[in-house]
Amino acid sequence: MARMFRVLGFLSGLISLLAYTGGAELAPLTILFALQTVLFFVLGYMKLTEKTYMYIFGAYMLIAFIGLNGWMFFHMPVGQ
């Protein structure tokens, strides 16, 4: 499971680089995915138990789901 967190770090790092090349309007996305990359790599090298990794991933998914739905409900422009 630790390797999967490193893979997630690698993939989020690629997304961060792609957003960086996209220009200034994607700067918040670049920062968000760069922070996720650091988080995933740090967690990947902490040598935690499998159960702990599953709990951390579940909490990450819950926070991402709530954040995405909150952004879509409160910040996304309607009907453009």
Does 80 fall in a domain?
Answer: no
The pLDDT value recorded for residue 19 is 95
Q: Is residue 55 part of a domain?
A: yes
- Residue 40: how many CB atoms within 10 A of its CB? 22
Total number of domains in the chain:
1
Are the CB atoms for 32 and 18 separated by under 8 Å? Answer: no
Strands (DSSP E) along 1-80, which ranges?
none
Query: Where is pLDDT greater, at 51 or 79?
Result: 51
Inside any domain, residue 33:
yes
- Cβ–Cβ under 8 Å, residues 41 and 31: no
The answer to whether residue 47 is domain-embedded is: yes
Q: What is the pLDDT of residue 80?
A: 66
79 belongs to a structural domain? no
**Per-residue pLDDT for 49 more than 80?**
yes
Note whether 19 and 26 are within 8 A (CB). Answer: yes
Domain of residue 57: give its range: 2-74
